[in-house]
């Protein structure tokens, strides 16, 4: 017992154990406890003075990570021009969202994500689509003739068809660029309509977000397969325009077999750089590797808690972007998922 006595003496004098254990009771009959106390117990049940010191250090760290009322106020002020489905994101909403995280450090890391969110409002989408239409006009000579009120020599369709994430932006593109309503067609009837209307010389496919490019490539493959039926009609200029996305995804789409076959040009209105991806090795959101890994674990843990199959967002990209009418599922699930009673800031509709 010589080796354990000093440790045991300190253990016995601790308030939580006083009156329960005595040296007499801790003899050879419970040697497993002796071994545990010698190897691990000194660390897991530290003396009172050490426990107090650790408590003070934890309290100091919690205070450093605490998010002040002024910080939340400033963030809400920065977001004041943005409305999600017609309503501003209030200070109270931000506070309630943050309170769902258990620890001050977790709240601080989650707050960093909010600080770097790119909120793309309707006016920005319209402006971006107008800029992209200039690419169409330049490449396809699609312009309004004198006295003409709406463009009629081009089709606009959502990439992926009804129910796709880009469908809601087709109407915006048409309105932004004064395109005739009858020239908005469903993807499933695109080739059929092109076969009968030879005056159409341009097709613009609209999407909301290009991440890895996999979803877009799959949709393009279907279009390219059907497009073989158009070989006897005048050539068509093909474009794919997304509101936002990642440059590497755009490259993957532009270089895929279907895109090459169509001669497709791919562009984004508001591209996201890799520096804006929180868990990228080039991230400026969390530039320090250790902090970046801490943040990734927090986002993954809470995303898994709420039962989302993509806790970091679809494809694991954790894109920090929100539209005024919806949040892409490429963003972290903690921002948009309402599963398991989680209260998101930007509840997502659709798949």
**pLDDT one-digit tens code per residue, 1-24:** 444 444 444 544 454 444 444 444
Are 209 and 110 contained in the same domain? no
**pLDDT one-digit tens code per residue, 301-311:** 999 999 989 99
Are 291 and 246 contained in the same domain? no
- Give the mean pLDDT of 150-159: 85
pLDDT of 180: 87
Residue 126 is assigned to a structural domain of this protein: yes
Are 202 and 320 contained in the same domain? no
pLDDT of 58: 65
C-beta of residue 318 within 8 angstroms of C-beta of residue 276:
no
User: Which carries the bigger pLDDT value, residue 35 or residue 327?
Assistant: 327
C-beta of residue 47 within 8 angstroms of C-beta of residue 17:
no
Residue 223 is assigned to a structural domain of this protein: yes
What is the distance, to the nearest Å, from the Cα of residue 152 to the centroid of all Cα atoms in its chain?
A: 36
Q: Measuring CA to CA, which residue among 67, 73, 72 is closest to residue 104?
A: 67
Instruction: Quote the mean pLDDT of the chain.
Output: 85
**pLDDT one-digit tens code per residue, 161-207:** 777 777 889 999 999 998 988 899 998 899 999 999 988 999 999 99
Are 214 and 190 contained in the same domain? yes
Q: Answer with the one of 274, 299, 329 that is the final residue of a domain.
A: 274
Question: Phi, psi at residue 314, to the nearest 5°?
Answer: -55, 130
Are 259 and 285 contained in the same domain? no
Return the CATH number at 218: 3.40.50
Are 43 and 184 contained in the same domain? no
Helix (H) or strand (E) holding 8: helix 5-13
**pLDDT one-digit tens code per residue, 204-219:** 999 999 999 999 999 9
Are 265 and 299 contained in the same domain? no
Are 130 and 263 contained in the same domain? yes
Residue 192 is assigned to a structural domain of this protein: yes
Q: Answer with the one of 274, 293, 309 that is the final residue of a domain.
A: 274
Residue 165 is assigned to a structural domain of this protein: yes
**pLDDT one-digit tens code per residue, 215-274:** 999 999 999 999 988 988 999 999 999 999 998 999 999 999 999 999 999 999 999 999
Enter the tokens of residue 88: 């501003």
Are 126 and 111 contained in the same domain? no
**Long-range contacts at 134-141 (CB < 8 A, ≥ 24 apart):** 135/239, 135/265, 135/267, 136/202, 136/204, 136/237, 136/239, 139/237, 139/239, 139/265, 140/201, 140/202, 140/237
User: Can you tell me the distance from the alpha carbon of 296 to that of 333, in angstroms, rounded to the nearest whole number?
Assistant: 12
Are 78 and 46 contained in the same domain? no
**pLDDT one-digit tens code per residue, 21-63:** 444 444 444 566 665 555 555 555 556 666 666 666 666 666 7
Residue 350 is assigned to a structural domain of this protein: no
User: Which carries the bigger pLDDT value, residue 84 or residue 52?
Assistant: 84
pLDDT of 1: 43
Number of domains in the chain: 3
Residue 347 is assigned to a structural domain of this protein: no
Residue 348 is assigned to a structural domain of this protein: no
Q: Answer with the one of 225, 240, 274 that is the final residue of a domain.
A: 274
User: Can you tell me the distance from the alpha carbon of 139 to that of 118, in angstroms, rounded to the nearest whole number?
Assistant: 30
Owning domain of residue 132:
122-274
Residue 349 is assigned to a structural domain of this protein: no
Are 141 and 258 contained in the same domain? yes
pLDDT of 152: 75
Longest dimension (CA), the chain: 105
C-beta of residue 138 within 8 angstroms of C-beta of residue 129:
no
Are 138 and 261 contained in the same domain? yes
Question: Is 287's pLDDT higher than 80?
Answer: yes
């Amino acid at each position: 017992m010589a080796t354990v006595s000093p440790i045991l003496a300190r253990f016995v004098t601790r308030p939580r154990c006083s009156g329960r254990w005595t040296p007499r009771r801790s003899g050879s009959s419970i040697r497993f406890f002796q071994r545990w106390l010698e190897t691990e117990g000194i660390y897991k049940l530290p003396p009172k003075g050490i426990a107090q010191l650790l408590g003070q250090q934890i309290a100091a760290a919690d205070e450093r990570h605490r998010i002040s009322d002024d910080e939340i106020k400033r963030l809400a002020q920065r977001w004041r021009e943005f409305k999600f489905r017609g309503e501003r994101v209030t200070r109270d909403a931000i506070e309630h969202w943050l309170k769902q995280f258990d620890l001050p450090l977790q709240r601080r890391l989650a707050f960093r994500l909010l600080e770097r969110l790119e909120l793309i409002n309707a006016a920005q989408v319209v402006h971006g689509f107008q800029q992209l239409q200039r690419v169409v006009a330049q490449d396809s000579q699609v312009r309004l003739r004198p006295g003409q009120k709406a463009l009629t020599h081009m089709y606009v369709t959502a990439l992926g068809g009804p129910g796709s994430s880009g469908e809601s932006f087709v109407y915006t593109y048409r309105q932004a660029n004064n395109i005739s309503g009858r020239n908005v067609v469903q993807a499933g009837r695109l080739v059929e309509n092109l076969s009968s209307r030879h005056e159409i010389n341009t097709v613009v496919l609209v999407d909301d977000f290009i991440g890895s490019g996999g979803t877009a490539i799959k949709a393009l493959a279907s279009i390219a397969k059907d497009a073989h039926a158009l070989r006897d009609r005048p050539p068509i200029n093909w474009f794919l325009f997304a509101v936002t996305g990642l440059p590497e995804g755009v490259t993957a789409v532009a270089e895929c077999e279907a895109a090459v076959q169509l001669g497709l040009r791919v562009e984004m209105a508001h591209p996201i750089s890799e520096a804006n991806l929180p868990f990228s090795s080039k991230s400026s959101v969390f530039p320090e590797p250790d902090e970046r890994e801490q943040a990734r674990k927090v986002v993954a843990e809470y995303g898994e808690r709420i039962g989302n199959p993509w806790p970091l967002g679809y494809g694991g990209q954790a894109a920090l972007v929100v539209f005024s009418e919806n949040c892409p599922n490429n963003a972290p699930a903690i921002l948009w998922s309402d599963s398991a009673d989680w209260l998101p800031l930007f509840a997502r509709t659709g798949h």
